[in-house]
Amino acid sequence: MNQMIAEADFVNATADKHAQGNPMLPLAASGLRFAINGRALVDVEALDIQPGMPTVIMGPNGAGKSLLLRLLHGLIVPSSGSITWAGKPAGKNIQHNQAMVFQRPVLLRRSVAANIDYALKVHGITRSERQPRVETWLEKADLKPLARQPARTLSGGEQQRLSLARALAVEPQILFLDEPTASLDPVSTQAIETLIRDASDRGTKIIMVTHDPGQAKRLAGEVIFIHRGEISEKTPAKTFFKSPSSEQARAFLSGGLLI
C-alpha cells in the first residue's frame, strides 16, 4: 500500500512541474542510423521525446538500447540522420545542459566530495556556490560520512549514488541513465530510484535504459521498446505493460526469447 501511495504521489507531484515544459525538448531524431562494417546496429526512422515523466528504453540484450542512448546524448556520432533539441541541432549549450550516468560508475581519483566539486567547477560554478551544493548532494545521496574517502574505494552502490549525485549537482535539464541499478542490491536500487524520482519531480527529463520491467513500472511515464536496433513501439507505460501493441514486446514481457 505504501508503495502504491508513493507512486501516486510521484505522478501528482511531477504533473505540475512537467506542465512548465523543458526548453531543450522535444528531443527528435530522424533517419537515425548507426552502422559498423555495413551492419546497422541502430536504425530509427523517427523518434520524438517530449517533456514529462521518465522515458524508459527497454528491449532484449543486444537490441541497441545503450547505443541509442549514446547517440541521443551525443557521445557517439551517427552514420546518418539527425538529432535536434527543441528544433535546434546539438551545440555547446545543449551539451552543457545534459548529463549521463553509465552502468559502471566512472569516478575521478579523488575524494567523494571532490568528485562533485570538480563537476561543478567544470560547469562554471563559483567556489562560493560549490561548497553548499556539494554538501547538499552528499546529504541527498547519503554520502556525507564518506565525503573525504577516496571515491574508488566505495562499494558498488555507493559509487553509483555518487555518480548520480555528481550528475544531478550540475542541474541538467536532461539526464541519460544507462542501467543505473544493474547488479545492485535492493537497498541500493531503492536509493538510486529515490534520487531519480526527486530529479524528475524537479523538472529534469529522465531518459533511461533498464532491463527490469518492475523498475520501468515504478518509474516510467512512457516506454520505448527496441528490437534489432529498431523501435517496435513507443507508448505510455501503463498501456505498454497492460497491452503492448508489438509482437516483440509481448514476447519480451511474457519471458519469451527474441531472436
CATH number at residue 43: 3.40.50.300
89 occurs within a structural domain: yes
236 occurs within a structural domain: yes
Q: Are strands 39-49 and 27-36 parallel, antiparallel or unpaired?
A: antiparallel
List, in order, residues 6 or more apart from 22 with CB less than 8 Å away.
51, 173, 174, 203, 205
C-beta of residue 106 within 8 angstroms of C-beta of residue 163: yes
Indicate whether 8 pLDDT > 60: no
224 occurs within a structural domain: yes
pLDDT value for 91: 76
8 occurs within a structural domain: yes
153 occurs within a structural domain: no
35 occurs within a structural domain: yes
**Cα 70 to Cα 74, 107, 167, distances in angstroms:** 6, 19, 16
pTM of the model: 0.90
Domain that holds residue 246: 2-106+172-253
124 occurs within a structural domain: no
pLDDT tens for 88-114 read 988 777 778 999 999 999 999 999 999
CA distance 49 to 238: 17
Mean pLDDT of 67-87: 95
Tell me how many domains the chain contains. 1
